[in-house]
Structure 1
Amino acid sequence: MAEYVVYYRVSTERQGRSGLGLEAQRAMVEQFLQPADNVIAEFTEIQSGKRDDRTELWNAINLVKKTRSKLLIPKLDRFSRKVSFISGIIDQGIELTVCEHPNVSIFFLHLLACFAEEERRQISERTRAALRAAKKRGTELGRNAQALAVQRRLEKQDFFETIRAEFEQAVAEAGSLSGAARLLNDRGVKTAKGGKWYPQTVCNYKPLSVAGHARCL
Protein backbone atom coordinates (compact mmCIF):
# COMPACT_ATOMS: atom_id res chain seq x y z
CA MET A 1 0.00 0.00 0.00
CA ALA A 2 1.22 3.49 -0.83
CA GLU A 3 0.03 6.86 0.43
CA TYR A 4 -0.22 9.76 -1.98
CA VAL A 5 -0.90 13.47 -2.09
CA VAL A 6 -2.24 14.25 -5.57
CA TYR A 7 -1.55 17.50 -7.43
CA TYR A 8 -3.49 18.67 -10.50
CA ARG A 9 -2.86 21.80 -12.56
CA VAL A 10 -4.39 23.59 -15.52
CA SER A 11 -3.09 26.83 -16.96
CA THR A 12 -6.28 28.82 -17.44
CA GLU A 13 -9.57 29.46 -15.68
CA ARG A 14 -11.42 28.38 -18.82
CA GLN A 15 -9.83 24.95 -18.62
CA GLY A 16 -10.59 24.80 -14.92
CA ARG A 17 -14.27 25.65 -15.45
CA SER A 18 -14.70 23.30 -18.41
CA GLY A 19 -13.03 20.40 -16.63
CA LEU A 20 -11.41 19.29 -19.88
CA GLY A 21 -7.83 19.29 -18.65
CA LEU A 22 -8.69 18.21 -15.11
CA GLU A 23 -10.92 15.38 -16.28
CA ALA A 24 -8.09 13.82 -18.27
CA GLN A 25 -5.66 14.19 -15.37
CA ARG A 26 -8.07 12.61 -12.88
CA ALA A 27 -8.61 9.71 -15.27
CA MET A 28 -4.85 9.09 -15.36
CA VAL A 29 -4.66 9.11 -11.56
CA GLU A 30 -7.63 6.76 -11.19
CA GLN A 31 -6.08 4.35 -13.67
CA PHE A 32 -2.74 4.45 -11.82
CA LEU A 33 -3.99 3.92 -8.26
CA GLN A 34 -4.22 0.41 -6.85
CA PRO A 35 -7.13 -0.68 -4.59
CA ALA A 36 -4.90 -0.69 -1.51
CA ASP A 37 -3.46 2.78 -2.14
CA ASN A 38 -4.56 5.70 0.01
CA VAL A 39 -5.02 9.27 -1.22
CA ILE A 40 -4.45 11.60 1.72
CA ALA A 41 -5.49 14.77 -0.12
CA GLU A 42 -5.87 16.32 -3.55
CA PHE A 43 -4.79 19.82 -4.57
CA THR A 44 -5.94 21.57 -7.74
CA GLU A 45 -4.34 24.70 -9.18
CA ILE A 46 -5.24 27.07 -12.00
CA GLN A 47 -1.90 28.68 -12.68
CA SER A 48 0.90 28.81 -15.21
CA GLY A 49 3.57 26.16 -14.79
CA LYS A 50 6.22 28.85 -15.21
CA ARG A 51 5.66 30.05 -11.64
CA ASP A 52 7.40 28.28 -8.78
CA ASP A 53 5.38 30.06 -6.07
CA ARG A 54 2.10 28.25 -6.70
CA THR A 55 0.10 28.14 -3.47
CA GLU A 56 -1.59 24.77 -3.91
CA LEU A 57 1.61 23.13 -5.11
CA TRP A 58 3.46 24.13 -1.96
CA ASN A 59 0.50 23.09 0.17
CA ALA A 60 0.79 19.66 -1.44
CA ILE A 61 4.57 19.51 -0.98
CA ASN A 62 4.36 20.54 2.67
CA LEU A 63 1.71 17.88 3.32
CA VAL A 64 3.92 15.26 1.67
CA LYS A 65 6.76 16.23 4.02
CA LYS A 66 4.47 16.16 7.04
CA THR A 67 2.90 12.78 6.26
CA ARG A 68 5.98 11.23 4.63
CA SER A 69 3.84 10.24 1.69
CA LYS A 70 4.46 10.47 -2.05
CA LEU A 71 3.55 13.32 -4.38
CA LEU A 72 1.48 11.94 -7.26
CA ILE A 73 1.08 13.91 -10.48
CA PRO A 74 -0.58 12.81 -13.74
CA LYS A 75 2.15 14.22 -16.02
CA LEU A 76 5.47 15.85 -15.26
CA ASP A 77 4.59 19.05 -17.13
CA ARG A 78 1.59 19.52 -14.79
CA PHE A 79 4.15 19.81 -11.99
CA SER A 80 6.76 21.95 -13.73
CA ARG A 81 8.73 22.32 -16.96
CA LYS A 82 11.83 23.68 -15.21
CA VAL A 83 14.73 21.32 -14.65
CA SER A 84 16.10 23.37 -11.75
CA PHE A 85 12.77 23.37 -9.90
CA ILE A 86 12.12 19.65 -10.37
CA SER A 87 15.68 18.79 -9.32
CA GLY A 88 15.38 21.02 -6.27
CA ILE A 89 12.21 19.27 -5.11
CA ILE A 90 13.77 15.83 -5.60
CA ASP A 91 16.86 16.97 -3.68
CA GLN A 92 14.60 17.84 -0.73
CA GLY A 93 13.74 14.17 -0.45
CA ILE A 94 10.27 14.45 -2.00
CA GLU A 95 9.32 11.16 -3.63
CA LEU A 96 7.75 12.19 -6.92
CA THR A 97 5.53 9.70 -8.76
CA VAL A 98 4.36 10.42 -12.30
CA CYS A 99 1.34 8.45 -13.54
CA GLU A 100 2.58 8.66 -17.11
CA HIS A 101 5.96 7.15 -16.12
CA PRO A 102 5.31 5.26 -12.86
CA ASN A 103 8.45 3.15 -12.54
CA VAL A 104 11.22 5.47 -13.68
CA SER A 105 14.40 6.21 -11.76
CA ILE A 106 15.44 9.62 -10.44
CA PHE A 107 17.92 9.81 -13.32
CA PHE A 108 15.13 9.32 -15.86
CA LEU A 109 12.96 11.87 -14.07
CA HIS A 110 15.72 14.41 -14.63
CA LEU A 111 15.77 13.49 -18.31
CA LEU A 112 12.00 13.94 -18.52
CA ALA A 113 12.40 17.34 -16.87
CA CYS A 114 14.93 18.31 -19.56
CA PHE A 115 12.49 17.28 -22.29
CA ALA A 116 9.64 19.22 -20.64
CA GLU A 117 11.76 22.37 -20.36
CA GLU A 118 12.88 22.10 -23.97
CA GLU A 119 9.28 21.62 -25.09
CA ARG A 120 8.27 24.82 -23.28
CA ARG A 121 11.16 26.66 -24.94
CA GLN A 122 10.06 25.45 -28.37
CA ILE A 123 6.44 26.46 -27.72
CA SER A 124 7.59 29.92 -26.69
CA GLU A 125 9.86 30.23 -29.71
CA ARG A 126 7.10 29.16 -32.12
CA THR A 127 4.80 31.76 -30.57
CA ARG A 128 7.37 34.53 -30.94
CA ALA A 129 8.14 33.44 -34.50
CA ALA A 130 4.44 33.56 -35.40
CA LEU A 131 4.14 37.07 -33.99
CA ARG A 132 7.23 38.21 -35.88
CA ALA A 133 5.82 36.75 -39.10
CA ALA A 134 2.51 38.52 -38.54
CA LYS A 135 4.25 41.85 -38.03
CA LYS A 136 6.38 41.28 -41.11
CA ARG A 137 3.21 40.84 -43.17
CA GLY A 138 2.13 44.24 -41.97
CA THR A 139 -0.32 43.10 -39.32
CA GLU A 140 -0.57 45.63 -36.53
CA LEU A 141 -0.95 43.90 -33.19
CA GLY A 142 -1.75 46.06 -30.21
CA ARG A 143 -0.61 45.04 -26.78
CA ASN A 144 -3.96 43.52 -25.87
CA ALA A 145 -4.28 41.68 -29.17
CA GLN A 146 -0.74 40.36 -28.88
CA ALA A 147 -1.29 39.13 -25.35
CA LEU A 148 -4.55 37.47 -26.41
CA ALA A 149 -2.87 35.76 -29.36
CA VAL A 150 -0.15 34.34 -27.11
CA GLN A 151 -2.68 33.25 -24.49
CA ARG A 152 -4.84 31.45 -27.04
CA ARG A 153 -1.85 29.67 -28.54
CA LEU A 154 -0.68 28.48 -25.12
CA GLU A 155 -4.21 27.41 -24.19
CA LYS A 156 -4.42 25.39 -27.39
CA GLN A 157 -1.06 23.73 -26.68
CA ASP A 158 -2.02 23.08 -23.06
CA PHE A 159 -5.26 21.39 -24.09
CA PHE A 160 -3.51 19.36 -26.78
CA GLU A 161 -1.09 17.93 -24.21
CA THR A 162 -4.08 16.37 -22.40
CA ILE A 163 -5.15 14.47 -25.54
CA ARG A 164 -1.81 14.08 -27.34
CA ALA A 165 -1.63 10.30 -26.99
CA GLU A 166 -5.21 9.70 -28.18
CA PHE A 167 -4.84 12.21 -31.03
CA GLU A 168 -1.57 10.84 -32.40
CA GLN A 169 -2.82 7.27 -32.11
CA ALA A 170 -5.99 8.12 -34.04
CA VAL A 171 -4.04 9.94 -36.77
CA ALA A 172 -1.58 7.05 -37.09
CA GLU A 173 -4.31 4.41 -37.25
CA ALA A 174 -6.68 6.25 -39.57
CA GLY A 175 -4.29 7.61 -42.17
CA SER A 176 -6.73 10.38 -43.08
CA LEU A 177 -8.26 13.45 -41.45
CA SER A 178 -11.82 12.15 -41.68
CA GLY A 179 -10.78 8.75 -40.33
CA ALA A 180 -8.93 10.31 -37.41
CA ALA A 181 -11.94 12.50 -36.59
CA ARG A 182 -14.20 9.45 -36.63
CA LEU A 183 -11.89 7.48 -34.30
CA LEU A 184 -11.60 10.36 -31.84
CA ASN A 185 -15.38 10.74 -31.71
CA ASP A 186 -15.91 6.99 -31.33
CA ARG A 187 -13.44 6.92 -28.43
CA GLY A 188 -15.15 9.76 -26.60
CA VAL A 189 -12.33 12.29 -26.99
CA LYS A 190 -13.77 15.82 -26.97
CA THR A 191 -12.42 18.97 -28.60
CA ALA A 192 -11.31 21.95 -26.52
CA LYS A 193 -14.89 23.26 -26.62
CA GLY A 194 -16.33 19.89 -25.66
CA GLY A 195 -17.65 19.14 -29.13
CA LYS A 196 -17.08 16.64 -31.93
CA TRP A 197 -14.07 16.28 -34.18
CA TYR A 198 -14.19 17.08 -37.89
CA PRO A 199 -11.46 16.74 -40.54
CA GLN A 200 -10.64 20.45 -40.30
CA THR A 201 -10.44 20.24 -36.50
CA VAL A 202 -7.90 17.43 -36.78
CA CYS A 203 -6.00 19.47 -39.36
CA ASN A 204 -5.85 22.44 -36.98
CA TYR A 205 -4.07 20.36 -34.34
CA LYS A 206 -1.71 18.40 -36.59
CA PRO A 207 1.12 21.00 -36.39
CA LEU A 208 1.26 20.37 -32.61
CA SER A 209 1.71 16.62 -32.96
CA VAL A 210 4.73 14.46 -33.67
CA ALA A 211 4.00 15.04 -37.34
CA GLY A 212 5.25 18.56 -36.73
CA HIS A 213 4.45 20.90 -39.57
CA ALA A 214 3.02 18.25 -41.85
CA ARG A 215 0.44 19.68 -44.21
CA CYS A 216 -3.16 18.56 -44.12
CA LEU A 217 -3.92 16.74 -47.32
Structure 2
Amino acid sequence: MVAKVDRLARSQAFLSNLLAAGVDVRFCDLPQIEGPTGRFLLQQMMSVAELEAGLISARTKAALAAAKARGQRLGGFRGRAGTADDTARARTARSRQADEHAAALEPILQRIDPAGTASLRMVAAALSAEHIPTPSGRGAWTATAVARLRARVAST
Protein backbone atom coordinates (compact mmCIF):
# COMPACT_ATOMS: atom_id res chain seq x y z
CA MET A 1 0.00 0.00 0.00
CA VAL A 2 1.53 3.31 -1.11
CA ALA A 3 0.15 6.80 -0.45
CA LYS A 4 0.98 8.26 -3.87
CA VAL A 5 2.50 6.94 -7.07
CA ASP A 6 5.49 9.27 -6.90
CA ARG A 7 6.29 8.10 -3.35
CA LEU A 8 6.99 4.57 -4.54
CA ALA A 9 9.61 5.55 -7.09
CA ARG A 10 10.61 8.24 -9.53
CA SER A 11 11.80 5.74 -12.10
CA GLN A 12 9.58 4.08 -14.64
CA ALA A 13 12.09 1.25 -15.00
CA PHE A 14 11.85 0.47 -11.28
CA LEU A 15 8.05 0.38 -11.39
CA SER A 16 8.08 -1.81 -14.51
CA ASN A 17 10.42 -4.28 -12.81
CA LEU A 18 8.23 -4.26 -9.72
CA LEU A 19 5.08 -4.97 -11.74
CA ALA A 20 6.87 -7.61 -13.84
CA ALA A 21 7.89 -9.38 -10.62
CA GLY A 22 4.21 -9.72 -9.76
CA VAL A 23 4.19 -7.38 -6.77
CA ASP A 24 0.65 -6.27 -6.01
CA VAL A 25 0.79 -2.51 -5.42
CA ARG A 26 -2.14 -0.36 -4.31
CA PHE A 27 -2.14 3.44 -4.39
CA CYS A 28 -4.26 5.54 -2.06
CA ASP A 29 -4.49 8.43 -4.54
CA LEU A 30 -5.70 6.28 -7.44
CA PRO A 31 -8.83 4.27 -7.94
CA GLN A 32 -8.22 0.58 -8.33
CA ILE A 33 -6.65 0.24 -11.76
CA GLU A 34 -6.16 -3.16 -13.28
CA GLY A 35 -5.50 -4.71 -16.61
CA PRO A 36 -3.76 -3.18 -19.61
CA THR A 37 -5.47 0.21 -19.25
CA GLY A 38 -4.51 0.47 -15.59
CA ARG A 39 -0.93 -0.54 -16.33
CA PHE A 40 -0.76 2.06 -19.13
CA LEU A 41 -2.08 4.83 -16.86
CA LEU A 42 0.31 3.83 -14.09
CA GLN A 43 3.29 3.91 -16.45
CA GLN A 44 2.24 7.31 -17.77
CA MET A 45 2.01 8.67 -14.24
CA MET A 46 5.44 7.23 -13.48
CA SER A 47 6.80 8.89 -16.61
CA VAL A 48 5.48 12.23 -15.37
CA ALA A 49 7.00 11.60 -11.91
CA GLU A 50 10.34 10.73 -13.54
CA LEU A 51 10.20 13.92 -15.63
CA GLU A 52 9.38 15.96 -12.54
CA ALA A 53 12.35 14.49 -10.66
CA GLY A 54 14.65 15.36 -13.58
CA LEU A 55 13.33 18.92 -13.75
CA ILE A 56 13.76 19.41 -9.99
CA SER A 57 17.33 18.14 -10.23
CA ALA A 58 18.12 20.46 -13.15
CA ARG A 59 16.64 23.49 -11.35
CA THR A 60 18.56 22.72 -8.18
CA LYS A 61 21.86 22.33 -10.05
CA ALA A 62 21.25 25.58 -11.94
CA ALA A 63 20.43 27.46 -8.73
CA LEU A 64 23.55 26.15 -7.01
CA ALA A 65 25.72 27.07 -10.01
CA ALA A 66 24.22 30.58 -10.09
CA ALA A 67 24.82 31.06 -6.38
CA LYS A 68 28.38 29.87 -6.74
CA ALA A 69 28.92 32.23 -9.71
CA ARG A 70 27.70 35.13 -7.53
CA GLY A 71 30.41 34.22 -5.05
CA GLN A 72 28.03 32.89 -2.44
CA ARG A 73 29.57 30.26 -0.24
CA LEU A 74 27.52 27.09 -0.33
CA GLY A 75 26.79 24.97 2.70
CA GLY A 76 26.27 25.82 6.31
CA PHE A 77 28.66 27.33 8.83
CA ARG A 78 31.21 24.72 9.77
CA GLY A 79 32.90 26.76 12.47
CA ARG A 80 36.45 27.87 12.46
CA ALA A 81 39.39 25.53 12.52
CA GLY A 82 40.76 24.98 15.99
CA THR A 83 44.18 26.29 16.89
CA ALA A 84 46.82 24.47 18.92
CA ASP A 85 45.79 26.60 21.90
CA ASP A 86 42.13 25.54 21.45
CA THR A 87 43.16 21.91 21.31
CA ALA A 88 45.25 22.22 24.47
CA ARG A 89 42.41 23.95 26.35
CA ALA A 90 39.93 21.28 25.23
CA ARG A 91 42.31 18.50 26.31
CA THR A 92 42.73 20.17 29.72
CA ALA A 93 38.97 20.53 30.15
CA ARG A 94 38.33 16.88 29.23
CA SER A 95 41.07 15.75 31.60
CA ARG A 96 39.62 17.85 34.43
CA GLN A 97 36.15 16.40 33.82
CA ALA A 98 37.57 12.87 33.81
CA ASP A 99 39.39 13.56 37.09
CA GLU A 100 36.18 14.87 38.66
CA HIS A 101 34.23 11.84 37.46
CA ALA A 102 36.91 9.48 38.82
CA ALA A 103 36.88 11.29 42.16
CA ALA A 104 33.10 10.92 42.33
CA LEU A 105 33.35 7.18 41.60
CA GLU A 106 36.23 6.50 44.00
CA PRO A 107 33.97 5.79 47.04
CA ILE A 108 31.86 3.39 44.97
CA LEU A 109 35.01 1.65 43.70
CA GLN A 110 36.30 1.37 47.30
CA ARG A 111 32.98 -0.14 48.43
CA ILE A 112 32.88 -2.67 45.58
CA ASP A 113 36.55 -3.65 45.82
CA PRO A 114 38.10 -2.39 49.07
CA ALA A 115 41.35 -4.34 48.65
CA GLY A 116 41.70 -3.51 44.96
CA THR A 117 42.27 -7.16 44.11
CA ALA A 118 39.06 -8.04 42.27
CA SER A 119 39.27 -8.68 38.56
CA LEU A 120 38.50 -5.83 36.21
CA ARG A 121 35.58 -7.78 34.72
CA MET A 122 34.09 -8.43 38.13
CA VAL A 123 34.27 -4.74 39.05
CA ALA A 124 32.78 -3.80 35.66
CA ALA A 125 29.91 -6.24 36.23
CA ALA A 126 29.30 -4.82 39.72
CA LEU A 127 29.26 -1.23 38.43
CA SER A 128 26.84 -2.21 35.67
CA ALA A 129 24.64 -4.13 38.13
CA GLU A 130 24.37 -1.01 40.29
CA HIS A 131 23.48 1.05 37.21
CA ILE A 132 26.45 3.36 37.71
CA PRO A 133 26.78 5.38 34.48
CA THR A 134 29.97 5.00 32.47
CA PRO A 135 32.18 8.06 31.91
CA SER A 136 30.55 8.60 28.52
CA GLY A 137 27.08 8.06 29.99
CA ARG A 138 26.19 5.34 27.49
CA GLY A 139 26.98 1.68 27.16
CA ALA A 140 28.05 -0.77 29.81
CA TRP A 141 31.17 -0.90 31.93
CA THR A 142 34.09 -2.83 30.47
CA ALA A 143 37.32 -4.12 31.96
CA THR A 144 39.23 -1.45 30.02
CA ALA A 145 37.04 1.34 31.43
CA VAL A 146 37.57 0.01 34.98
CA ALA A 147 41.35 -0.15 34.40
CA ARG A 148 41.36 3.47 33.23
CA LEU A 149 39.22 4.49 36.20
CA ARG A 150 41.60 2.76 38.63
CA ALA A 151 44.61 4.42 36.98
CA ARG A 152 42.99 7.87 37.14
CA VAL A 153 41.99 7.37 40.80
CA ALA A 154 45.55 6.25 41.63
CA SER A 155 47.09 9.28 39.90
CA THR A 156 45.00 11.84 41.80
TM class by shorter chain equals 0.3 to 0.5
Larger Rg belongs to:
2
Structure having the higher strand fraction is: 1
Structure having the higher helix fraction is: 2
TM-score normalised according to structure 1 size = 0.32
